[in-house]
Structure 1
Amino acid sequence: MGLNLSGTGNTGLAGTSSRSRAYPWAVTALVLGLLLSDYMSRQVLSAVFPQLKAAWTLSDAQLGSLSGVVALMVGILTMPLSLLADRWGRARSIALMAVVWSVATLGCAFAANYGQMLTARFFVGVGEAAYGSVGLAVIMSVFPPKVRATLAGAFTSAGIFGAVLGTALGGSIAAHYGWREAFLAMAAFGLVVTAVYCLTVTEGRLARHAHQSAAVRTGTGTGLSVGETLRAVFGSRALICAYFGGGLQSFALYSLLAWMPSYLNRYYGMAPGKAAMSAAGMFILSGVGMTLCGVLTDWAGRGAPARKVSFGIGFCLLSCVVLSIAFRLPAGNAQIILIALGALVAAGPWGPAGASVANLANPVVHATALAILALAYNLMGAAPGPFLTGVLADRIGLLGALQLAQLVSIPAALAFMLCRRTYLRDLPDAARSGDNV
């Protein structure tokens, strides 16, 4: 499609000739490798639930708490830790985060009881809390703004692949060698990638390879007060609307993905195991959709920055139409095909939302702004979507609940429409002088 991801064009910065074309790719590979480690360490627990339950005679509530404590810490700490990373240094913050979650995962392997496992999982959550926002900010800093939708989509999709890989690989290792070995494997992978990252990515090298748009700043991380930072991440209507657009669309996607195993079990008569595997395929499709829709958004938005927001609108409305039709068809191949297509497109707004937030926010607070977007995904989508869909399912049936859940894509599209109205006006000066936002 002609996308130049090297970010090594004429930036006008001193020392541009010393920048390596390969270094941004090395940074991307290592940051994505750590993201895989992040989600593998998080999701391996679900693969070993049966073994843990048998070994320690745990209740389902206790098993759930081992998973929930990670999500709780991520929800509580994403914002403050992202803010600290913007001020202290993103490269070193990532290294510290990865060490914490990898060592904590190692601690899970040696836990002797429920209390020790809960403590270890607590620190897994602490380590992983801000990685999504800080890692994406680091990748965006070494590439031109014109490919931010691609980067945002690919980065988010890597988390989905990591979750699927952690569950599948963890379950296989646990079945053959034991649940402790599953945690050991995830910890070992994380520590190895962290070691390579620490040898490769430093604050100085990131600064030398930063794209002009990330290097032109109105201040430094330590130079902005907390109040100035908050004004920077909430200072424009377009930016706030981008948060809402991404967050509301995540409601539709997470509702679909969370309830697909139950839907396939109830309406297609699939055994739970087969239904879960089929639903995992939907997860993978949504991950592919994040990347492909991001690439399409960047390609079509060249020379017309506001067009990228229009693609966010289009993806929301298209997913609503496709999934609404799908859930009104009788059970069968046609319905499954449309649901799969809907899962692919429903994830499409991740790229436009991430690109819009990065373009509208000052580069000095990118990690914080992207943390707010991640918080919107969780508070508006991942948390309430499956729950409210379940509440509706108790009243009107799961089919009717899924039909209604997809209608949330309409207010998501409206939020992107409001974002587009003031998008060009709200772009900061640094972004206006950047390359093809």
Structure 2
Amino acid sequence: MAGIGMTSAADSESALNSSFTVRWYVLFVMMLAYTINIADRYVMSTVLEEIRLELHLTDSGIAFLTGVSLALFYVTMGIPLSWIADRYNRRNLLAASITIWSVMTTLCGLSRNYTQLLLARIGVGIGEAGGTPSCNSIVCDYFPAARRPMALTIFCLGAPIGAWLGADMAGAAAHAYGWRAAFLILGIPGVLLAGLIMLTVREPSRGCLDKPQDHGDNPTVLETLRFCVSQKSAVHVIMGSGVSALWGWGLMWFTPTFLQRTYNLDVGAAGGIIGPIHLVMGISASLLTAWLLARPSYTDPRKIVNLLGIVTALATIPSIVAYYTHSLIVAKVALWIFVPAVYFYIGPAFALGQNLAPPKMRAMFSAIALLIANVFNLIIAPQGVGLLSDWFAGPAGADAASLRSALLILAPTGFWAAFHYFMAARTIVADQHRAIGVID
């Protein structure tokens, strides 16, 4: 992280204001960073069953290796790294973070036993903790407040593209060459992207597109937490996005394994079902969201949170059907309807949270939201599903039926997420004005 804070404000303003092309180039590069983040994180879910069988693990055992080991260090490192991002050069921090998680993903593929794989997954979590908060904060200083929901939704195209890479491409590689190959082909490109960021992206001046607000020069972590809690709508947006991650991404962890066990598919076939859904419907949902949020009527944040609540509540129904049915055709149809909602909320939720935070608290607000989301998504969801699956199975060991029952307990939590979005609408206009002033 040498050199953090070296870029001048004049250079930053020049990079920001030089042309329309510059800000969209930066947005595209940030999207690539998020793509690699998601791909490196979720490749594990594609090869879950292969690793479990080779290492002779239970569902709860593989769940710990999959999610908890990553999350414990992701959430503990997220706060200090976001503290750095709110004070120093975010570009340099981002490049260092990408390098760390990409190298550690490659080491996952070189692991020969449980301990090595566990340590490599921990390393992935440490690296990824500095990625998304830095990206969000940088994008928010290249786009004005009214355009941030649209910009961060474009940024979040990285989620479906990354999930497709982690499912379809990784599944094909694992089927042809073994599960370790899936990690190798996804880990190496990240190091190249880190170099591109260092060479072509400049650090923007913090808060340059917002009205000046007096929140102190360097708010402490405690001051940021107090301000966050005082923003009632921020609490509901953070909880809504967190429970959405519990629901949507939590279900995604075990979906390839569920398809393999229930319908007797190999890892390539299961990845071939999930991958295209992520790619086609994930991108379509993200582009539709960006188009909607670019409309003048959606500068009103109340409309955005109400839209998130409606979409999440409706999509919860097919999420239940996908794991209840015994028909592969019905399951596929339900997944094609449900999976887009996993992406629909990400960009708007990121943007709403950033607009509810003063400029010098943005990375920390993002870290708080990610901490909540990843505790739900990486700890509670996979470990809970794994424990429930083992419990339902009894001494015979986890199977398709036990995993189905566990996933059906998780699926209805989408209704809980929708509740928080609807509640946020009550105070979000006043809270946003308090944080960044009037949106033009």
| Fold shared, TM-score > 0.5 on shorter chain | yes
Aligned position for 1:416: 421
Aligned position for 1:223: 218
| Structure 2: unaligned runs, 5 residues or longer | 1-12, 394-400
Against the structure 1 CA distance between its residues 318 and 148, is the aligned structure 2 distance closer, same or farther, given a 3 Å change threshold?
A: farther
After TM superposition, the structure 1 = structure 2 runs for residues 361-376 of structure 1, keeping only pairs within 5 Å, are 361-376=357-372
The alignment status of 1:275 with 2:270, answered yes or no, reads yes
Aligned position for 1:10: none
Q: Percent of aligned pairs with the same residue?
A: 25
CA contact (8 A) 1:360 1:427 kept: yes
Deviation string for 1:300-350 (max 9, x for gaps)? Answer: 743423111111111122113444566676736455323321222354232
Aligned position for 1:207: 205
Deviation string for 1:96-153 (max 9, x for gaps)? Answer: 2123334445666777877666555443332222212221221222112233333344
Could you tell me which amino acid in structure 1 is paired with residue 414 of structure 2? S
CA contact (8 A) 2:15 2:202 kept: no
Aligned position for 1:7: none
CA contact (8 A) 1:322 1:342 kept: yes
Report the Cα distance in structure 2 between the residues aligned to 1:244 and 1:420, rounded to whole angstroms.
13
Aligned position for 2:28: 29
Report the Cα distance in structure 1 between the residues aligned to 2:46 and 2:325, rounded to whole angstroms.
33
Report the Cα distance in structure 2 between the residues aligned to 1:201 and 1:385, rounded to whole angstroms.
36
- 2:332 counterpart (336, 339, 342): 336
The more displaced of 103-112 and 257-266 is 103-112
Report the Cα distance in structure 1 between the residues aligned to 2:186 and 2:177, rounded to whole angstroms.
14
Report the Cα distance in structure 2 between the residues aligned to 1:124 and 1:28, rounded to whole angstroms.
23
Could you tell me which amino acid in structure 2 is paired with residue 425 of structure 1? A
After TM superposition, the structure 1 = structure 2 runs for residues 7-22 of structure 1, keeping only pairs within 5 Å, are 18-22=17-21
Deviation string for 1:18-51 (max 9, x for gaps)? Answer: 5321111121122222223334444556778899
The more displaced of 270-279 and 164-173 is 164-173
- Matched residue of 2:226: which SS? helix
Could you tell me which amino acid in structure 1 is paired with residue 315 of structure 2? S
CA contact (8 A) 1:151 1:294 kept: yes
- 1:385 counterpart (344, 366, 381): 381
Report the Cα distance in structure 2 between the residues aligned to 1:50 and 1:409, rounded to whole angstroms.
26
- Matched residue of 2:413: which SS? helix
CA contact (8 A) 2:16 2:23 kept: no
Could you tell me which amino acid in structure 1 is paired with residue 337 of structure 2? L
Measured after TM superposition, the shift of residue 426 of structure 1 is 1.5
Report the Cα distance in structure 2 between the residues aligned to 1:16 and 1:401, rounded to whole angstroms.
50
Deviation string for 1:73-118 (max 9, x for gaps)? Answer: 2132122211221122322211221233344456667778776665
Against the structure 1 CA distance between its residues 235 and 89, is the aligned structure 2 distance closer, same or farther, given a 3 Å change threshold?
A: farther
CA contact (8 A) 1:156 1:287 kept: no
Aligned position for 1:426: 431
Could you tell me which amino acid in structure 2 is paired with residue 305 of structure 1? P
- Matched residue of 2:241: which SS? helix
The more displaced of 251-260 and 130-139 is 251-260
Measured after TM superposition, the shift of residue 175 of structure 1 is 7.5
Could you tell me which amino acid in structure 1 is paired with residue 85 of structure 2? A
Against the structure 1 CA distance between its residues 249 and 277, is the aligned structure 2 distance closer, same or farther, given a 3 Å change threshold?
A: same
Aligned position for 1:164: 164
CA contact (8 A) 2:356 2:435 kept: no
CA contact (8 A) 2:102 2:124 kept: yes
After TM superposition, the structure 1 = structure 2 runs for residues 313-328 of structure 1, keeping only pairs within 5 Å, are 313-324=309-320
| Structure 1: unaligned runs, 5 residues or longer | 1-13
Could you tell me which amino acid in structure 2 is paired with residue 383 of structure 1? I
The more displaced of 81-90 and 166-175 is 166-175
Q: TM-score, normalised by structure 2?
A: 0.77
Measured after TM superposition, the shift of residue 421 of structure 1 is 0.7
CA contact (8 A) 2:45 2:256 kept: no
CA contact (8 A) 1:233 1:365 kept: no
The alignment status of 1:131 with 2:105, answered yes or no, reads no
Measured after TM superposition, the shift of residue 352 of structure 1 is 3.1
Against the structure 1 CA distance between its residues 108 and 124, is the aligned structure 2 distance closer, same or farther, given a 3 Å change threshold?
A: same
